[in-house]
Chain A
Amino acid sequence: MSMRHDPELDDVLQDKELLRLGELLSSAVRPEPPLDDAFQSELRRQLMHQAWEMGEGRPSWWKRAFAPPGMAWIGATAGLLLIASVVVYTTTHQSASSDVSYLSPIDGGSGIALQQPILVKFNQPMDHRTTEAAVQIAPATNVTYSWQINTLAVQPTSGNFAPNTQYQVTIGPGATTATGQHLPSAGTITFVTQPPAPPTPSPSPTPRAPASPTSLLTGERQLAPEGGGVSSPLQWSADSSTVYFVTVKGALEVVPAKGGDVTIIAPDGASSPVIAPAGDRLAYIRAGKIEILTFAAGTTAEVVVTPAATMVGWAKDKVVWATSDGLYAQGVNKPMQLAPLPTTGDVSVLSIASDGMHAVYRQDQKLFLLEIATAKSTQLGQASASFYGWSPSGTQLLYGGADHLVVSDTQGNNVSTLTSGEASWSSQDAILIGSDSDLFQVRPDGTSGTKLANGTYHLPVWAPNGTAFAFFRGGALWTASAPLLPPQPTVMELATTTFTKFMQARLKGQGGEAAIYLDANGKQAYSSGGLSLVISGEPHFTRFYVLTQQITSTQPDTARFVVRIVLTQGKLDVADFEETLTIIRDATTRQLLIDQATLGTRRDLGKGAAVVGVVVAAGSIQVAFDSDLDPGTVPDSVVLVDAKGKQVEATTTYANRTVTITGLELRPGAQYKLVVLPALRDVLGHNVASEYNLQLLGPAVKNQTGIVVKPPVSPSPSPSPSQNQSN
């Protein structure tokens, strides 16, 4: 474990153990707290509003606007409410002798909502015609104007602004006051819009308040009296309403999970109870024979097998059992052996996977995984390991020793390691880990670990509903319910986290921090090929946004991000360039790291319409532009070509700055190229300065959420050039 040494503490702590504790405290890394970007923007606006009041020493125009009759107008303009608390003072570049000025609440803002007007408040009555004529907005956008007293509201005709775009609204000197006085010079209001809303809300785990100061469990109760525990693993009914168990005296009993009387099914000699996957039957062994209780009929059938059965289970809804020499299932006329068991040592089968493909047995003190089709055995862990169950899909299993639990695949390979304890794997993919002192819940990959309670929780067994579980305490049977783990993040969410942390570190100029998110290939990419982790120089790096993101493979999990890096001079965005990042799940650590990076061409901004977002699905591609386009130029100017350069046949439509290409049948993983030709014109008649190309891949899998997502990544928090923390 690497622990950071702080020389300043040498003088304070002196003692070796104190220093070690200090370094240990320093080594804990704070995770990113949940942060609502809207809160950050809104607080900034409130502060600027307050600052303006302080600077002017008078009540804000905002307060006055809210007073009747201004309130009536505001009520009619819902968009105003979004920015009601903000005022950033903007002056024209006026001479000292001129008193014509204006201000806009969104000037200099970032993360500005897409659906709101640009408000420009003048300090005196203006001539509407000349003022509207003096307004220029870039990128080219069709707008409408409305006035309320001295405030001009500029609203995009389409109803919303383009995402991830810096708007520059210039009011030229042609604007005149009602008395004919000109603005002395042009002034520009700038703001950056927020990313588009993701298509589906991202699950956000909310912190859970404990049910009590020491426990997150509910409904904890004792079911059966103390009786010295059980002799076989207990079983839940399929509807999670009852619990079956075998007492140390060999009685098979059942008790309602909500509490109630215990009912005896078999008074003695029973072992190995197991519920059928359909939940309609219960098999168990009694006196060497297999008994099958059918719940609906209330009848019990006997299956006499030779040699005597030692364990019974279900595979694909059929009874399977173990004897001293092998695993068996019922054949047409007689039992058929599925796989032989070792003939030496003390062998006992512990479990057969529900798909009938694997079994786990103990030979003397060692645990083995048996592949039934090949009869090949693989030892699991060290001697004295214990088996705790299969994953819901049957493709992984859980076993443990004294030191830790292991999640293994069905080849016996270690997939992850968890803290030690007695465990159970739920249908919801949560692992419950009990012990003499506490109870934890964790995901199979070791994430989302949560301590549920202090106390004794022996041999926990999840109910099929994934919330109730049974356990033993002091030899008695108990049940309780555990809260669900937060939703497991999707690959795209995990990749987005990696991407965001990587880019935020770069934005702060923290190359070392950014490098944490690179694997060996990624580090190589950033040490050559013109790529640089720290982007320095002028114009300077002020923000980034995702142009497009896709899951391109699931073996291994692979995501591809095209990020736009924006360079700013003064307060104006003047250039950008793209990087294409490939994020891959590392086979060993399971982390998603940046494996490949390529650099795109630097592009000057303000040279015609630009692509600001691309959403790829198997059957369609949406291309969002920052400008309103001349619709007549769209069909021949925005095209998709395949890897051979041949144009893909499709239908192209245009509305609200978005070109939609439909009728596609993109092949998973195949290469395509989106081409925007210079013939494309915006509504002001400006052509795109040069051809724009964007490499795309066919989505990995059809119809899976998260494969193609509109850029949900928050853009860089602020256009402020420096984010360095002081310390």
Chain B
Amino acid sequence: MSDLLRDEEGDLVERAKQDPRQFGALYDRHFQQIYRFVYSRVREQTAAEDVTSEIFMKALKAMPRYQDTGRPFAAWLYQIAVNAIADRYRTLRPAQSIDDFHDLSVAGPALEDLAAHRDEIRRIWGLVEALPAQQKTALVLKFQEDMKIEDIAVAMGKTSGAVKLLIHRGVSRLRDEADALRPVE
């Protein structure tokens, strides 16, 4: 995020803290991002809508208590989202296969290479889903949401060092299961 955009967001956040009726601008700015993240985790439209509603309602109610730590406002929304999803996962599991949630139809190279590439991506993301919850969350925020480690730390309520460790352990575990990653002949 550029300094200009960050300043602009800072203004929006400050205004929303003073007057909750200004929260709409933050909602407009972050809805798509949060909804996409939630859908990728719960994989069912109605559930994604429920969780997204819960996230923004919680965020709105908590706005007066929001503390600017210098990190993007989105990191705080992700923190609420991670917790909301975790709550939901305690009772429910995702309805769909991971295959449906990572676009495997990227164009470019030879189709056969692409197919192998897609297979490998699919298998790796399948393995990510089986990781311990904290490692999985860290990997999803890093590799799917493309977040910076410091922002992931905010979202997960951990230190940057702890997030790095989670990512390292998660990816190492994927490597250790390399046999399972080989395409099925």
Q: Identify the A interface with B (CB < 8 A).
A: 1-2, 8-9, 11-13, 15, 17-18, 21-22, 24-36, 39-40, 43-44, 46-48, 50-52, 54-55, 88-89, 108, 207-210, 403-404, 416-417, 419, 435, 437-438, 446-447, 449-451, 589, 591, 717-718, 720, 722-727
Contact = CB atoms under 8 A, between A and B. Distances in A.
B139 A25 contact: yes
Contact of A717 (B28, B124, B143): B28
Given A33-B35, A55-B19, A437-B184, A720 B28 contact: yes
A55 B112 contact: no
A29 B103 contact: yes
B85 interface: no
A13 B171 contact: yes
A88 B21 CA distance: 7
Given A21-B171, A44-B27, A718-B28, 9 more contacts: A24-B120, A30-B36, A30-B144, A32-B36, A207-B43, A403-B112, A419-B115, A435-B184, A727-B148
Interface in B143-185: 143-149, 151, 164, 167-168, 171-172, 174-175, 184
B83 interface: no
7 contacts: A1-B113, A29-B102, A43-B27, A46-B57, A419-B115, A451-B97, A717-B31
Contacts of A591: 107
B5 A43 contact: no
B44 interface: yes
Contacts of B104: 28, 449
A25 B102 CA distance: 10
A201 to B, nearest CB: 16
Nearest to A204: B45
B143 A25 contact: yes
Contacts of A419: 115, 119
Contacts of B39: 33-34
A50 B28 contact: no
Contacts of B74: 725-727
A208 B21 CA distance: 39
A727 B146 CA distance: 7
A727 B78 CA distance: 11
Contacts of B1: 724, 726-727
**Nearest 8 CB-CB pairings of A with B:** A28-B102, A33-B39, A726-B72, A720-B28, A25-B143, A51-B20, A29-B103, A417-B111
B103 A723 contact: no
Given A43-B52, A717-B32, A720-B25, A36 B45 contact: yes
A36 B46 CA distance: 10
Nearest to B107: A589
Contacts of A28: 102-104, 121, 125, 143-144
B164 A24 contact: no
B171 A29 contact: no
Contact of A26 (B72, B73, B106, B143): B143
B21 A48 contact: yes
Contact of A51 (B21, B102, B171): B21
A43 B28 contact: no
A21 B174 contact: yes
A24 B22 CA distance: 40
Contact of A207 (B57, B95, B168): B95
A509 to B, nearest CB: 10
Residue of A416, A447, A726 with most partner-chain B CB within 10 A: A726
A722 B120 contact: no
Contact of B48 (A11, A33, A450): A33
B28 A404 contact: no
A416 B39 CA distance: 31
A146 to B, nearest CB: 27
Interface residues of B, number: 82
B77 to A, nearest CB: 10
A403 B113 CA distance: 11
A43 B56 contact: yes
Interface of B: 1, 5-6, 8-9, 19-25, 27-33, 35-36, 39-40, 43-45, 48-49, 52-53, 56-57, 60-61, 72-75, 95-97, 99-109, 111-115, 117, 119-121, 124-125, 128, 139, 142-149, 151, 164, 167-168, 171-172, 174-175, 184
A170 to B, nearest CB: 21
B36 to A, nearest CB: 6
A591 B171 CA distance: 34
A631 B43 CA distance: 51
Contacts of A11: 164
Contacts of B101: 30-31
Contacts of B142: 9, 22
B106 A29 contact: yes
B184 A17 contact: no
Contacts of A89: 21
Contacts of A26: 143, 146
B59 to A, nearest CB: 9
B184 A30 contact: no
Residue of A36, A438, A450, A720 with most partner-chain B CB within 10 A: A720
Given A403-B112, A451-B99, A722 B32 contact: no
B23 A21 contact: no
Contacts of A25: 121, 124-125, 128, 139, 143-144, 171
B24 A8 contact: no
Contacts of A416: 111
B175 A108 contact: no
B86 to A, nearest CB: 19
A700 to B, nearest CB: 26
Contacts of B125: 25, 28
Nearest to A53: B20
A209 B171 contact: no
Contacts of A403: 112
A15 B145 CA distance: 22
Contacts of B27: 43-44, 47
A225 B45 CA distance: 44
B20 A722 contact: no
Nearest to A588: B107
B31 A417 contact: no
A207 B35 CA distance: 17
Contacts of A8: 148-149
Nearest to B18: A55
Contact of A44 (B28, B48, B108, B120): B28
Contacts of A727: 1, 72, 74, 145-148, 151
A271 to B, nearest CB: 31
Contacts of B99: 449-451
A393 to B, nearest CB: 23
A108 B21 CA distance: 12
A44 B24 CA distance: 7
A13 B117 CA distance: 21
A1 B73 contact: no
A87 to B, nearest CB: 9
Contacts of B28: 44, 717-718, 720, 723
A11 B49 CA distance: 37
Contacts of A210: 97
Contacts of B31: 40, 43-44, 717-718
A105 to B, nearest CB: 12
A55 B152 CA distance: 31
A625 B5 CA distance: 37
A48 B40 CA distance: 26
A726 B9 contact: yes
A17 B30 CA distance: 34
A727 B53 CA distance: 22
Contact of B53 (A46, A404, A417): A46
A33 B103 contact: no
Nearest to B8: A722
Given A26-B146, A47-B56, A89-B21, A39 B108 contact: no
Contacts of B115: 404, 417, 419
A40 B33 CA distance: 12
A48 B112 contact: no
Nearest to A209: B95
Given A21-B124, A29-B106, A726 B73 contact: yes
